[in-house]
Amino acid sequence: MAVLIRSGIDGIVTLQLAGTLDMACVADIDRALQCARSTRNPVVLDLGRVRLIDRPTLQYVMDVIRDNVQAVVNCPDHVRGWIGRARTMADG
């Protein structure tokens, strides 16, 4: 798993996640998110390079999306499907 933080000239901070995400990654994501939010600029989550997410980490990512980011970009169809199914299960 890799986390990359990029700041654009427009002031938007992009937090890019890549690879396989599991609970061992959560601390790294939290640190990167805290760093990104400390800029007081909008934070965008880029999931374009995510290949696999376990269920607990998927819930964590959904919470991050809901509470801490302005937008999600480059979300692959398979990740979008996982998020949709997890939301349906949570609502059901």
The CATH number of the domain holding residue 49 is 3.30.750.24
Q: Nearest to residue 74, comparing CAs of 36, 53, 45, 43?
A: 45
**pLDDT tier, 9 (very low <50, low <70, confident <90, very high otherwise):** confident
For 23-68, the pLDDT digits (tens) are 999 999 999 999 999 999 999 999 999 999 999 999 999 999 888 8
Domain count, the chain: 1
Instruction: State the DSSP H helix or E strand holding residue 3, giving kind and residue range, or none if neither.
Output: strand 2-7
User: What's the domain range around 37?
Assistant: 2-91
Distance of alpha carbon 54 from alpha carbon 40, whole angstroms: 30
Q: DSSP characters for 13-48?
A: EEEEEEEEE-GGGHHHHHHHHHHHHTTTS-EEEEEE
Q: How many Cβ atoms from other residues are within 10 Å of residue 29's Cβ?
A: 19
